[in-house]
Amino acid sequence: MKEIKAIVQPFMVEAILHRLEDLEIPGLTLSEVRGWGRSRAEGARESVQEAGHAFALKTKIEVVVPDAMVEPIVDAISSAARTGRPGDGKIFVSGVERALRIRTGEEDEDGL
């Protein structure tokens, strides 16, 4: 199993979700986040000042899936989120050792 984390522009979320719906993913989490990359939030559509620094407002998408679903999901997110301008975001893929559905006790892929 893998965890996919994508940090994307908030205005691209709707297009990304439309692409992900077609892939029948087991679920996802969306979070509002702020941060900076190489451009230090320059040119961000929305930014916030904190402790004297400008942070770009972003959305984080998190999903845990079986290994076979990773590439289609990464492709869907990257193609839907790409504008070609700085600040499009990043995608990270990490291994997941264990998943547990609290309600039923199902584990690993069954727990997704």
Q: What is the per-residue pLDDT across 57-66, written as a single tens digit (0 to 9) for each?
A: 999 999 999 9
pLDDT confidence of residue 77? 98
Domains, the chain, with CATH or none: 2-111 (3.30.70.120)
Q: Where are the alpha helices (DSSP H) in the chain?
A: 13-21, 70-81
pLDDT at 35: 87
In sequence order, the 6+-apart residues with CB closer than 8 A to the CB of 46 are 10, 56, 57
**Does residue 13 contact residue 89 with C-beta atoms inside 8 Å?**
no
Q: Residue 37's pLDDT is what?
A: 79
Beta carbons of 16 and 81 less than 8 angstroms apart: yes
Region 87-91: what's the mean pLDDT? 93
pLDDT given for residue 40 in this prediction: 63
Mean per-residue pLDDT, 78-82: 97
Reported as a single tens digit per residue, the pLDDT across 14-47 is 999 999 999 989 899 999 999 887 776 565 667 7
Nearest to 47 by CA among 60, 35, 61, 57: 57
Asked if residue 20 lies in contact with residue 77, where contact means CB atoms within 8 angstroms, the answer is yes
Say what the pTM is: 0.87
- Please name the helix (run of DSSP H) or strand (run of DSSP E) that holds residue 61, with its range, or none: strand 53-65
pLDDT tens-digit map of 93-110: 999 999 999 999 999 888
